[in-house]
Amino acid sequence: MERAQYALLAVALAVPAVAWRLPGPWFWVAMALGFGAAAALAAWALQDEGQLRAAFTYQAGDPTLAFVVAVGLYLPLWLVVTRWVAPNNLLQLCAADGVFIPRPDEVGFGRFLELVRVQSCEAYGRTAYLKGLKLGLGAALVAALEELAWRGGVQQALSQRLGSTRGWLAASGLYALSLLATGNLVVAALALLGGLAWGALYRFRGGLLSCVLAHALFVWILLFVRPVLALR
């Protein structure tokens, strides 16, 4: 990996941890500017290698694959939340800093589910400055920049060094690690699953369009079309 690629990795790892600790609109500013810078570094590296145009060349089936992957990630998440984590409308309400109504005295598996609910609500609270369509568009834009940075930059560099499969797995692990630095285990776990799915599209398709579309569509559904939790 060259210096620009190390710089890209450092920025991509640091942005979520920094943004997570900023209030209100500054969360979105840090995410957009941070991943914008990382995406620019990734695009520069791809251009330098003569691969930028090929990375964004449309391939037959890109939209269909993106839709299948996005919905395939969303539906199990929706089922887990609505069947076990928050099985009624009252439990699905979140405050900006956590759950709206906590479940008291939970033990065993119930305590674990309550932790998942609390951290899920905290994640929704981080996005609270934007609402409605602005939230969907903002999240989709950041998701697209993340894909260019992580898949087109980090995974591409690691694949050249380690091989395509190891590069895909290593990049997915680092992507989850960057979200683990926020202190939110739910977001980190979701990032690992998403990173493996979006990274697989890049690994086996060789282009960025399908993984960019899949990630953007997933967060569009999750935060705008049909959120699994609601901010009160």
Element (H, E) at 94: strand 93-95
pTM recorded for the entire structure: 0.95
CA dihedral 197, 126, 91, 177 (to 10 degrees): 40
Asked whether residue 190 carries a pLDDT value surpassing 90, the answer given is: yes
- Contacts of 67 by beta carbon, 8 Å cutoff, 6+ apart: 213, 214, 217
**In the structure encoding, which two tokens stand for residue 53, read together?**
């145009």
Between CA 33 and CA 28 the distance in angstroms is 8
DSSP 230: E
pLDDT tens, position by position, 83-108: 999 999 999 999 988 899 998 877 88
Distant-in-sequence, close-in-space partners of 189: CB < 8 Å, separation ≥ 6: 176
Q: HSE on the CB side for 29, CA within 13 Å?
A: 6
pLDDT at 152: 96
Q: What is the pLDDT of residue 104?
A: 80
1 pLDDT exceeds 70?
Answer: no
Q: What mean pLDDT do residues 141-145 have? A: 97
Work out the average pLDDT over 22-37. 95
* pLDDT surpasses 80 at 197: yes
3-state helix, strand, coil in the chain (%, to 5): 75, 5, 20
146-158, pLDDT tens digit by residue?
999 999 999 999 9
CB 140 within 8 A of CB 216: yes
* pLDDT attached to residue 105: 75
CA–CA distance, 230 with 214 (Å, rounded to integer): 23
Q: Check residue 189 and give its pLDDT.
A: 97
Q: 177, 117, 205, 156: which is closest to 38 by C-alpha?
A: 156
What is the greatest pairwise CA distance in the chain?
59
